[in-house]
Structure 1
Amino acid sequence: MASGSSAVIVKECVLTRIKVLIVDDSAVVRQVLSTTLAQDAAIEVIDVAADPLFAMQKMAKQWPDVIVLDIEMPRMDGITFLRKIMTERPTPVVICSTLTEKGAETTMQALSAGAVGIVAKPKVGLKQYLQDASDDLASAVKAAARANPKRLKPVHSPIVSAPKLTADAVLAPGPAMMQTTDFVVAIGTSTGGTQALEVVLTALPRTCPGIVVVQHMPEKFTEAFAKRLNGLCQMDVAEARHGDRVLPGRVLIAPGGRHMLLKRSGAQYHVEIVDGPPVSRHRPSVDVLFRSVAKFAGKNALGIIMTGMGDDGARGLKEMHDAQARTLAQDEDSCVVYGMPKEAVKLGAVDRVLPLNDIPGAIMTSR
């Protein structure tokens, strides 16, 4: 009897955990990341490595589900290692990058090369910062673990040589302004979204309607992301500033760590950048943007929800749909993580589900 009971207990305790390899040349970072991740029952740190060459030796013995990777390391840099992995055996990678301008720019290269997430680390106060950000770190690893390996491929976007001619905690009550016929496109995305946005935005002409974007990304990195896209796209792409106009041929990306809302003054759209609590666990939040678009643009808007983990944006897209806006969702096959689009479809918020490569054409024919 006792033997049978023990067998049942052992069986019930069996848990498939996410196997994580940490690659960072800092012993402090390796120790803090390992300790922090080990506190989550769903995660197992199977090994650490001081550089990619050591990492490859360890991976030959046991392949991880997720790699947490530094970029600037001796012997082989993180970008070279990342590209090697994506060529030989695509594996979800979360970049652990410094909060500096150079670090942000390099991180954009890593995301373009196939990484699916970012964990920011400052140059000072590192240990306390990473401990305080333990929930974000664990969430990034869990989101990466759900990534579709078939979608972990580098984006090869053409270089454009042509000249550049619940959100109630943030949203204020009140009616929308007077009628307008100006059209606006709102896009929300998370895990895998940097690559998806690159695919969509580089395919759009300068005649495209104004676009507002929320991409879940830490503070400091959105500016580098916008600069990268601005060098690739025909449209002007910038990190949004408070009061920026939403105009044809312009893409505004919400700054990391702050919410972005669409507003209207007369017939002209602009954005407001505001502080506020995380909504749907995110700041910026897609729900905040989409709900403001529903209120101030209504039927003169297109809402698009793309790859990402969780449900941020689903309820906001439903409000856009109910306000007679057109709504799209990226399909499961082309998503890195089919979480946010799936939740929006379940709510009845989506008019059409499309592959990623069909979204630019849908944007241009939506008005």
Structure 2
Amino acid sequence: MPLTPEGWTLLKTWEGCRLSAYPDPASGGAPWTIGYGHTGPDVVPGRTITQQQADAFLQKDVADAASAVERLLPGVALLARQRDALISFCFNVGVGALESTTLRKRLLAGESTALVLKEELPRWCKGPHGPVEGLKRRRAAEVAHATAFEQAQATPTTQQGFIQLAVPYLSQNDSATGQGSRMCFSSTCAMAAAFLKPGCLSGSGQLDDQYLALVQRHGDTTDANAQVAALRSLGLEARFRSDGRIDHLIEQVRRGMPCPVGWLHRGSVASPTGGGHWSLVIGWDPGTRQLLMHDPNGEADLVDGGYVSQAINSGKNLRYSERNWGGRWQVEGPGSGWWIQITTLG
């Protein structure tokens, strides 16, 4: 795919979709536009299209923009989100404009991609009569998209001691594989991989279903060794540990690393049971002593066991208390929690 899922959202949000041809805002006439910013000799006043046609135009136009970025920036190493931003930019301003930019010259000269995007993209915000507010916001969104991972790594805290990483959420309960009820481990690790290596899962279907197929090359979805092997195959250095303490988890998210954790989700908090469940620590609130969590199965009942809700997205950005969740994680006492430590990017 030419764009990451987040990249598609970025571009479609800023282009918008109109099924009737409309004139260029600057000229009041040509070039006429339709769908998601589609122009050309086939777009004339009075033309209308279906949503299916708009989607088809979008696929082709994005593919053309992606091809232009690759052709005009040979040898330039781009992270997935940086590539998204450049495709969105090219889609908006045109191939000819990208070809003549100082942005391109600087990238080909070997300057830092992150720095060049931050400095050059905001310059492209002018219309015939000066800066255009909508273009200023779009360029800012493209820069923010391109640097999202960098920002999360460098400044994961937003207030004293508080941490929340912007990790995409995946639910095991909407899997198309038939494995949904038992793939909490895979959905959890897929979330971590999608955050740490944007675009590393880029095939067809849902990201955690793609990741599950990768795990199955090494073993079963419940096998920690298979999970570690899958993460390593994506360029993430990882290892399974069974000596976890809360301090380990806080340190991981402080370093910008979401942390997969395995715990017992059934029975009361005084006597937890179960075959084990995995979720992802994405932050920490020291004021309330709560771990911020993405739980792929929904919202757990930490006191009595089981789940309050297993609806799609009900497990996003949860707050699990150190006291109640910690007792389900460190069942054998302090320093006995199961976790996957991700230490470096390959």
TM-score (norm 2): 0.26
TM-score (norm 1): 0.25
Structure 1 or 2, whichever has the larger Rg, is 2
